[in-house]
Structure 1
Amino acid sequence: METVQFLIIGIVVLASACLQGSIGFGLGMITAPVLALLRPDLLPTALLFLAVLTSLTAFVRERQDVDWKLVGWGALGRVPGIAIGTAAVVLLPSAGLSLMLAITVIGGAAFSLVGWSPRATNRNMFFASSVSGIFGTATSIGGPPISLVLRTLDPSSMRSTMSAYFTLGSLLSLTGLAIGGEVTSTHIIAAAALLPFMIIGLWMSNFVIRRADSRLLYRLAVAASLFGALLVIAEVLRSQLA
């Protein structure tokens, strides 16, 4: 990875991890479009490695209120989604995956703004997790369907259950990608190189969350992710028309 390219991606990881730690949203939605533009070969695997560590950190911090029944149904639902998502990574060309990622980001932003929330039942968790498994495995962005279902829980249980689910779900997605031959030493080295940026961003969130307006941060995260998605779509169109 070129030095300038690496620094750009690292700064984006740092900023998006800070937002993730502050408002629970940002790492995948903001970083994935940047990787799609600069290093599409690292997606989705390298970002999933970072997502596992981010979710695990949140789980260790707030593990006391996990609804393990919902996590279990979510794990069951994620399996068929992982199979479809892995097939997409293996079979789709780079431009197709980039376009899928951009559409996922736009859809995720729409999900995050919608006021409707289905009840947090086992059935809803199963189906939401199937969708999450497809897009989480193919693009590393699987959060929106799950957050839509779990937002009806009380805040502590929601955070704990989401962090437990995404730790397990990301590991399952990485397992599916490994079976599909989509986990390489390049992905592992890139994730390791970007890990310090993520750790610093999460550490900074401890200060940001106490001083910044969470609504402003939320709007900033949505705007940044949408801007990145539009850039990805423009680049795909440019490359196809060139």
Structure 2
Amino acid sequence: MAFDTFAFLPDGLALGAAIVLIALSFFTSALTAAFGLGGGMAMLAALGLVMPPAILVPVHGAIQLGSNAGRAMVQRRHIQWHTVLWFALGAIPGAMVGGGFAVALPETLFRVLIAAFILYSLWGPQPDITGRGPLANLMAGVLISGLGMITGVSGPLVANFLRKIDDRRRLIATHATIMTSSNLAKVAVFSALGFAFSTYLPLVLAMIASGFAGTLLGSRLLEHMPEKAFRLGFRLVLSLMAIEMLRSAVFW
């Protein structure tokens, strides 16, 4: 019997589209490894061209789980664990509550408010807030993971929450680890709600593998990037993601 490549693809997804998605996973992972974010939203937009919303968010969560876990492993020496652990504890109830509302609430208002908040926090006058601790990290995990279940994207909010970390390697590594915990909770909740991840597993695994190769490239770029250039690139990429959120909310 001849080997049937198409048997490993989800129904309705052409082989050419699958190849493009796998290649795109490489470039978006490289972008995220170099600047901390941007790849997740680009991947969400690409998947949205070939998948309906009910499938898009859980599949995107599974892909990002693998991508972020690979990035966290590569950059594990720089993880700020005291932030990660409390955030991860909050991600569990946040994902459970957000999952209950994911199919019931309109996401347009959420996207507009989140994007506006990110843009203001990047470029607007900032209050002198220095408080950080277990409670703040726990509540951030609850709120950001809950919103991620509804909007499909939580990376920009996590990046905004971590933006005051003064070392770019620690920022990238901690962001990747927090996103791993958030996406793990997302996948677990969607599985409990009955989503059949097995249908999309071959595609997801192929995209995770290509994404890991992109992570290795992006991590090398990060090591050789001047701190000032990284900070400017970080803010610009985050701003572009917020503007894209506004555009998709208003014109979708």
Q: TM-score range by the shorter chain?
A: 0.7 to 0.9
Distance 1:63 1:130 in 2: 24
Greater helix fraction, Structure 1 or Structure 2: 1
Q: 1:46 to 1:160 in 2, by over 3 A?
A: same
- 1:239 is aligned to none
Q: In the TM superposition, what is the alpha-carbon distance from 1:191 to its structure 2 partner?
A: 1.2
Distance 2:117 2:84 in 1: 21
Superposed CA deviations along residues 45-72 of structure 1, whole A, max 9, x for unmatched, are 2222222222222322332354433323
Which residue of the other structure, out of 165, 171, 191, is the alignment partner of 2:184? 171
Identity %: 17
- 2:39 is aligned to 27
TM-score, structure 1 normalization: 0.75
Q: State yes or no: 1:142 paired with 2:154.
A: yes
User: Where do 1:57-206 residues align within 5 Å?
Assistant: 57-91=70-104, 96=106, 99=108, 103=112, 106-107=115-116, 110=119, 113-114=122-123, 116=126, 119-155=131-167, 156-206=169-219
Q: In the TM superposition, what is the alpha-carbon distance from 1:167 to its structure 2 partner?
A: 2.0
Q: 1:187 to 1:227 in 2, by over 3 A?
A: same
- 1:240 is aligned to none
Asked if structure 1 preserves the Cα contact closer than 8 Å seen for 2:148 and 2:154, the reply is yes
Amino acid at match of 2:240: A
TM-score, structure 2 normalization: 0.73
- 2:240 is aligned to 223
Q: 1:112 to 1:144 in 2, by over 3 A?
A: farther
Superposed CA deviations along residues 142-195 of structure 1, whole A, max 9, x for unmatched, are 223333333333424433433332222221221111111124323323312323
Distance 1:180 1:112 in 2: 35
Deviates more, 1:34-43 or 1:101-110: 101-110
- 1:49 is aligned to 62
Q: In the TM superposition, what is the alpha-carbon distance from 1:78 to its structure 2 partner?
A: 1.7
Q: 1:63 to 1:206 in 2, by over 3 A?
A: closer
Structure 1 gap ranges (5+) = 236-242
Q: In the TM superposition, what is the alpha-carbon distance from 1:109 to its structure 2 partner?
A: 5.2
Q: In terms of Rg, which structure is larger?
A: 2
